[in-house]
């Protein structure tokens, strides 16, 4: 700093000394006139450079840097260096911000940046979709005004951001969002929004699964336990009465056995990750086997027809396909009243192939159709238990078809029956050799 001011001090000191010398050599008027003129030129010199500095400060985008001389050369040089350093820092900050925004846009979660007044500074496209925001329109707006939910307003006001908040999306009530606030920077906040709809759905299914398994097992166990207590406490029972109790206990234990077997089958399908051995399957022969099984299961109560229009086979696991098709056939028999008709069909569907089971049963309301493949989901719980169903058949079908890249279509109308159709992709269809 001392060197910076040394040059103007030397200039002023030299002018003063020269004026004193002139005073000694001539007179005071000449010396004063010389000093005044020199001082005037010095002031004009500085005023001119101050003007250039003012212009440059008003036009920082200009690349023309004032030249300047003497002390002003140093001033302009230093200002120019600081400007370049600031420009580089600004560029680095803008580049870092751009990288952050690109990274935030690529994230699957919503991100909203808020200032210390909870006003929106920035948000990514996911947050716009989840909260119904528009960054250009809503920048600077209070988020609590746009997201009018009492839970969220209380969450912001509490300033306790250790826990997340779970709310329903205002745009889509089927979406469940987890919100977590994270303070950062100069009293700023980062709002992280995660779609946990699938997690919540899985958790709900898990709770329902545990509750349903417990209920399904408790009922037959209670019946069997009650009969055993009756037999143990009875002093004298007739042979027919004992046989009646034993038949009922056998029926309940058979029901539990079917439930356990279905649970094991479902567990095996879920854990094997599609690694089952696949071979060519003679589907026409498999359909004939299912037809004979259906006749035996129906025991003459229904009219059962076989309509095999195709001779193609499939690449797949025969045991799994037998299980899936068999579940569809047994469901049709179980839920079709006596005297009804059931048709088993194997046909071409363009370059694909389809197996379908059509019945003249009671039919299913449209609201129930999307949930039929859920575990233990029943349209009529009482009637399902009467017919001996475990509530896992269609869940097993769904897993098997997924492993075979097949699609299940359900057409049903109350009072007019149902059609369950399985469509296999072209790469699964095989021409069978004679």
Residues 218, 188 share a domain: no
Based on the structure, what is the number of domains in the chain? 4
Domain contains 406: yes
17 or 68: whose pLDDT is higher?
17
pLDDT of 344 reads: 94
The string of pLDDT tens digits covering residues 388-410 is 566 777 888 888 888 889 999 99
In which residue are the tokens 């399908």 written? 269
Q: Average the pLDDT over each of 54-58, 270-274, 377-381, 382-386 and give the range with the smallest value.
A: 382-386
Tell me: pLDDT of 278 over 80.
Answer: yes
Tell me: pLDDT of 431 over 60.
Answer: yes
Chosen domain end from 39, 65, 95 = 95
Residues 232, 185 share a domain: no
Residues 266, 407 share a domain: no
Comparing CA positions, the residue from 188, 169, 171 lying closest to residue 179 is 169
Domain contains 9: yes
Residues 402, 280 share a domain: yes
378 or 327: whose pLDDT is higher?
327
Bridge partners of 347, per DSSP, are 354
DSSP 119: B
Domain contains 120: yes
Domain CATH for 154? 3.30.450.20
Which range has highest mean pLDDT (69-73, 129-133, 425-429)? 425-429
Residues 75, 60 share a domain: yes
Domain contains 412: yes
Which range has highest mean pLDDT (4-8, 66-70, 143-147)? 143-147
For residue 302, what are the domain limits? 276-430
Domain contains 415: yes
Domain CATH for 246? 1.10.287.130
Domain contains 100: no
User: For the purposes of burial, counting CB atoms within 10 Å of the CB of 389, is it exposed (0-12), middle (13-18) or buried (19 or more)?
Assistant: buried
Residues 421, 391 share a domain: yes
Domain CATH for 405? 3.30.565.10
Residues 419, 329 share a domain: yes
Domain contains 102: no
pLDDT of 60 reads: 66
Residues 282, 265 share a domain: no
Cα separation, 30 vs 319, whole angstroms: 123
Chosen domain end from 69, 95, 121 = 95
In which residue are the tokens 């920048």 written? 139
Rounded to two decimals, what is the model's pTM?
Answer: 0.50
- In this prediction, residues 68-87 reach a mean pLDDT of 73
Residues 425, 324 share a domain: yes
The string of pLDDT tens digits covering residues 152-201 is 878 877 777 778 888 887 667 778 888 888 887 777 888 888 888 888 77
Residues 88, 63 share a domain: yes
247 and 266 in contact (C-beta within 8 Å)?
no
Tell me: pLDDT of 151 over 70.
Answer: yes
Secondary structure (3-state) at 434: coil
Residues 224, 115 share a domain: no
Residues 173, 293 share a domain: no
Structure tokens at 410: 């359900």
Chosen domain end from 95, 128, 159 = 95
Q: Which DSSP helix (H) or strand (E) runs through 271?
A: helix 239-271
User: For the purposes of burial, counting CB atoms within 10 Å of the CB of 49, is it exposed (0-12), middle (13-18) or buried (19 or more)?
Assistant: buried
Domain contains 336: yes
């Amino acid at each position: 700093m001392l060197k910076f001011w040394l040059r103007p001090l030397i200039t002023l000191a030299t002018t003063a000394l020269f004026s004193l010398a002139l005073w000694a050599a001539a007179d005071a008027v000449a010396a004063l006139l010389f000093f005044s003129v020199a001082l005037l030129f010095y002031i004009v010199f500085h005023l001119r450079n101050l003007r250039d500095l003012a212009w440059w400060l008003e036009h920082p985008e200009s690349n023309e840097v004032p030249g300047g001389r003497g002390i002003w050369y140093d001033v302009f040089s230093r200002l120019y260096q600081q400007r370049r350093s600031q420009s580089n820092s600004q560029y680095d900050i803008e580049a870092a911000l751009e990288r952050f925004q690109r990274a935030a846009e690529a994230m699957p979660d919503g991100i909203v940046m808020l200032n210390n007044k909870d006003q929106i500074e920035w948000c990514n496209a996911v947050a716009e979709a989840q909260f119904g925001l528009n960054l250009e329109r809503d920048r600077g707006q209070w988020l609590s005004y746009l997201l009018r939910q009492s839970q969220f307003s209380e969450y912001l006001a509490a300033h306790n951001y250790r826990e997340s908040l779970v709310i329903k999306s205002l745009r889509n009530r089927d979406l469940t969002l987890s919100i977590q606030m994270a303070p950062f920077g100069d009293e700023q906040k980062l709002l992280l929004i995660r779609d946990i709809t699938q997690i919540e759905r899985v958790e709900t299914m898990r709770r329902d699964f545990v509750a349903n398994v417990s209920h399904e097992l408790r009922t037959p166990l209670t019946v069997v336990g009650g009969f055993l207590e009756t037999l143990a406490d009875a002093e004298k029972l007739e042979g027919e009465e004992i046989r009646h109790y034993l038949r009922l206990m056998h029926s309940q234990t058979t029901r539990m056995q079917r439930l356990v077997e279905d649970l094991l089958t479902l567990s095996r399908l879920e854990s094997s990750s599609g690694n089952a051995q696949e071979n060519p399957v003679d589907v026409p022969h498999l359909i004939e086997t299912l037809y004979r099984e259906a006749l035996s299961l129906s025991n003459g109560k229904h009219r059962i027809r076989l309509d095999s229009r195709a001779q193609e086979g499939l690449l797949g696991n025969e045991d799994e396909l037998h299980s899936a098709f068999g579940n569809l056939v047994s469901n049709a028999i179980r839920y079709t009243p006596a005297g009804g008709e059931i048709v088993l069909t194997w046909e071409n569907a363009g370059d694909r192939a389809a197996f379908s089971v059509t019945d003249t049963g009671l039919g299913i309301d449209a609201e129930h159709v999307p949930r039929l493949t859920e575990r233990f989901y029943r349209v009529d719980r009482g009637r399902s238990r009467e017919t001996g169903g475990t509530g896992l058949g269609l869940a097993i079908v769904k897993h098997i078809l997924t492993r075979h890249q097949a699609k299940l279509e359900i057409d049903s109308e109350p009072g007019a029956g149902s059609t369950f159709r399985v469509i296999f992709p072209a790469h699964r269809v095989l021409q069978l050799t004679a």
